Structure 1
């Protein structure tokens, strides 16, 4: 018979499978007609942390960064993916995500619920070196994906350069090197007509 602790853990693990069905706005490189899902995004950005750790502005505990990136979007199971440039949808995003975090982390035994929700909250608050670096990675990957897809979601939604700068400026707090790269990609996208000037 499965003990209560394991049963709770397995219940959340099976619930997390739903993250594979939450679609984002960018298309995957290998199949340009298919939208990326949030589970793929989380995996991709966690690998970025391992590969790009040396570009963090400050020393970081990479294990914690990877945990943050694997956990940061599980709330989208309930709250959905909010398009970062949609000001109206973003208004109640924080409240919906908090409710989702309460429900999802609440499925776990109390000690794990507190630990993992604490890591999720640390990411959201973006005060630690780990959270700033994780946020930088989370914000640069859509820029890079849009660039490789000829501005796909930017073109579809009529996004302008300043919107991208305003939303993604926090990258610099976690990694100056990644912010420099982001600006290079943003300016190239304007030159190519994928972003409005």
Structure 2
């Protein structure tokens, strides 16, 4: 007889397989294939491991990794909201909260509470860990779009000012990475793949 705790944990793990089916607007590096949420989360976790030394402060890397691996799980129910969507808010929504409660609620109570708290911490973006995690989340699509001749910037007619506004939160987690990101943005303008209205 399996323990109730194990059964709940396995049910959660089976449920989050659905993350592999959630398509994002951004495409893989140098590719025309859309990235899915599971690939995105994995890549952010790797980025955090590799780039942690550039954080503005000393961070709890394990907590950052947990944030990055679970932050988009709510999109199983709520779907992916494109960061430059002009119709739908990209901030935490009631729909996402309901999704978090349902999906994390599959876990045993103690784990459910832990992961709900970690998800909320990422969304609120006030702690050093959340700020660094958010930096990774904003950096990856910037690098993807630069590698894809403008990618979603071109496809959805997004200009430099809008991209800059969304990406500048990178500096809250890492000024060094933000300096690099700014250079990528400026280079993208020079290359003509990101328009800058004069």
Classify the TM-score, shorter chain.
Answer: over 0.9
Measured after TM superposition, the shift of residue 29 of structure 1 is: 2.5
Change in Cα spacing, 1:91 to 1:148, as seen in structure 2 (3 Å) is closer
Question: CA contact under 8 A between 1:29 and 1:148: conserved in structure 2?
Answer: yes
Matching residue of 2:164:
165
Aligned residue for 1:183? 182
Q: In structure 2, what is the equivalent of residue 24 of structure 1? A: 24
Shift of 1:158: 0.3
Moved more, 83-92 or 153-162: 83-92
Residue matched to 2:51 = 52
Alignment partner, residue 14 of structure 1: 14
Write the distance in 1 (CA, Å) between the matches of 2:135 and 2:65: 13
Structure-1 separation of matches of 2:42 and 2:131: 18
Q: Residue 107 of structure 2 aligns to a residue in which SS?
A: coil
1:151 to 2:150 alignment: yes
Task: Return 5+ residue gaps in structure 2 as ranges.
Answer: none
Determine if contact 2:92/2:123 at 8 Å carries over to the other structure. no
> Which deviations, in whole Å up to 9, do the C-alpha atoms of 1:73-98 show, x marking residues without a partner?
11110111100000312268522111
SS at match of 2:81: coil
* TM-score of the aligned structures, taking structure 2 as reference length: 0.95
Q: C-alpha displacement at 1:167, in angstroms? A: 1.1
Q: 1:16 Cα shift?
A: 0.5
Check whether the contact 2:56–2:175 (CA below 8 A) recurs between aligned residues: yes
| Per-residue deviation, residues 110-129 of structure 1 (Å, max 9, x unmatched) | 10000111111111111111
> CA RMSD, aligned part only?
1.3
Structure 1: how far apart are the matches of 2:114 and 2:99?
16
Preserved CA contact (<8 Å) 2:74 2:100: yes
The runs of at least 4 aligned residues of structure 1 exceeding 2 Å deviation read none
User: Structure 1 length normalisation: TM-score?
Assistant: 0.96
Match of 2:108 in 1: 109
Report the CA distance between 1:33 and its aligned residue. Answer: 2.5
Structure 1 unaligned segments of length 5 or more: list them: none
Partners of 2:127 and 2:163 in 1: how far apart?
24
Write the deviation string for residues 156-192 of structure 1: whole angstroms up to 9, x where unpaired. 0001000011112111110001111111111111111
| C-alpha distance in 2 between matches for 1:110 and 1:149 | 43
Alignment of 1:35-184 (within 5 A): 35-90=34-89, 94-184=93-183
